[in-house]
């Protein structure tokens, strides 16, 4: 017996972080979640699986129009022709109270009840599927505690949308413990909600398949579902399958050895070339380039994210490749030293460093600086406000981080000019 376990498909959820750029792959961003799901349906048909389980968040929330539902019905129709049933559980994003628009589902799609746990028996396979959909998005009760006892002589599969213990990055929906799932007596738990692939083996096999398609830079790396093989003895073999169509990647570039802005830009270009050589030839990559290191180029690089982004775009263009798309460039470099060498000098630079170090505790100076900068922040266009992290701090009157960053950067830049 074989089945596909998927979750967190978020159909028609937008990919964020690229669409604002003129060079963005607009069509790919618009259809990525659908294309990944179509790939999953293709795989199910090719592998002739016995059934598919979707463990919550098929949709990203209420439909903007009926096209999302029509698309899903079409894909389910393809599975119906192939004789593949689908067992669908709703999670927090597509909970019963979240969805005002609905369409009748094809007859091969079976939905877990939201009022109480329900069970679907597949007697010809010796399988029982147990689950309960979310009635309300903010479901914080332990749903697993009410799931039925396992049916003797059958492979029991629990379908559950849950944060599970220890996943602090995710909202605490339908909380339960791993120990509780292992103790239930089921052979497999098909989980959803956590977007990273995770698997635990014990008395049961417990799996988060992750989401089908990464939607932003916090969801890097391969994405997909799992194909589960169950032998006659009930042993489970779990195979991860990747169906995503665009992959997010964080490219770290250490510029410690660079002496200038130009050298740092060339180091990034070399890193891009190496990434292309090592990465999958067919997969478009949405990149965040993170530039770090303690470097002599720190002063030249400070505040130059916009210019450095243009240099990275030029490097991508020079590589003649249409698989790389730049999401953002982040600068996280540090000055080459802590300023001790300057303190030992008896000149204007040493005086400037002393002034900047004492500025953080000079309330009169801080008030004046905030007044000057607030005028700039108020007049700045929205795209600039989102691009400069210190704007929010300036509005809140918290200038400490800005001063800590400015001091070594300004002094290092002036020292280089000298």
Which DSSP state fits 97?
A: G
Q: In order of start, what are the domains of the chain with their CATH numbers?
A: 2-242 (3.60.21.10), 247-417 (no CATH)
CA distance 153 to 126: 8
Q: What is the pLDDT of residue 408?
A: 63
- Which of the two residues, 343 and 400, has the higher pLDDT score? 400
Q: Which of 240-249, 340-349, 402-411 has the lowest mean pLDDT?
A: 340-349
pTM confidence score: 0.83
Q: What is the pLDDT of residue 416?
A: 60
The pLDDT-based confidence of 229 (bands split at 50, 70, 90) is very high
pLDDT at residue 378 greater than cutoff 90: no
Indicate the Cα dihedral angle 152, 154, 157, 158, nearest 10°.
-20
- Which of the two residues, 142 and 206, has the higher pLDDT score? 206
The pLDDT-based confidence of 304 (bands split at 50, 70, 90) is confident
C-alpha Rg value of the chain to the nearest Å? 27
Give tens-digit pLDDT for 151-195.
999 999 999 999 888 655 556 788 889 999 999 999 999 999 999
Q: What is the pLDDT of residue 387?
A: 60
Q: What is the mean pLDDT of residues 3-31?
A: 82
Q: What is the pLDDT of residue 312?
A: 93
Paired residues of 192 in beta bridges: 161
């Amino acid at each position: 017996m074989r089945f596909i376990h998927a979750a967190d498909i978020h159909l028609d959820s937008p990919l964020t972080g690229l669409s604002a750029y003129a060079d963005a792959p607009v069509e790919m961003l618009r259809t990525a979640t659908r294309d990944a799901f179509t790939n999953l349906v293709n795989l199910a048909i090719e592998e002739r699986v016995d059934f598919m389980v979707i463990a919550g968040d098929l949709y990203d929330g209420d439909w903007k129009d009926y096209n999302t539902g029509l698309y899903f019905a079409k894909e389910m129709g393809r599975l119906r022709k192939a004789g593949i049933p689908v067992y669908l559980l709703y999670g927090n994003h597509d909970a019963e109270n979240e969805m005002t628009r609905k369409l009748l589902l094809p007859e091969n799609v079976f939905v877990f009840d939201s009022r109480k746990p329900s069970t679907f028996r597949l007697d010809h396979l010796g399988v029982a599927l147990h689950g309960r959909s979310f009635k309300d998005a903010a479901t914080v009760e332990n749903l697993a505690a009410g799931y039925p006892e396992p049916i003797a002589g059958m492979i029991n599969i629990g379908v559950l949308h849950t944060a599970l213990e220890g996943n602090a990055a995710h909202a605490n929906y339908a909380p339960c413990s791993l120990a509780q799932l292992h103790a239930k007596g089921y052979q497999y738990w098909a989980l959803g909600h956590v977007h990273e692939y995770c698997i635990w083996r014990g008395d049961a096999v417990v799996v988060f398949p992750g989401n089908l398609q990464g939607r932003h830079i916090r969801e890097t790396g391969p994405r997909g579902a799992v194909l589960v093989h169950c032998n006659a003895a009930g042993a489970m073999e779990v195979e991860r399958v990747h169906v995503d169509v665009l992959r997010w990647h964080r490219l770290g570039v250490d510029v410690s050895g660079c002496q200038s802005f130009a050298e740092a830009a060339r180091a990034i270009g070399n890193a891009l070339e190496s990434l292309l050589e090592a990465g999958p030839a067919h997969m478009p990559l949405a990149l965040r380039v993170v530039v770090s290191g303690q470097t002599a180029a720190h002063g030249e690089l400070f505040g130059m994210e916009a210019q450095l982004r243009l240099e990275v775009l030029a490097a991508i263009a020079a590589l003649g490749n249409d698989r790389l798309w730049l999401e953002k460039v982040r600068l996280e470099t540090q000055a080459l030293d802590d300023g001790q060498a300057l303190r030992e000098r008896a000149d204007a630079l040493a005086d400037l460093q002393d002034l900047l170090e004492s500025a953080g505790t000079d309330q009169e100076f801080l008030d004046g600086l905030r007044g000057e900068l607030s005028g700039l922040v108020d007049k700045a266009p929205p795209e600039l406000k989102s691009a400069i992290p210190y704007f929010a701090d300036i509005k809140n009157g918290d200038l400490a981080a800005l001063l800590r960053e400015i001091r070594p950067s300004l002094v290092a830049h002036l020292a280089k000019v000298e």
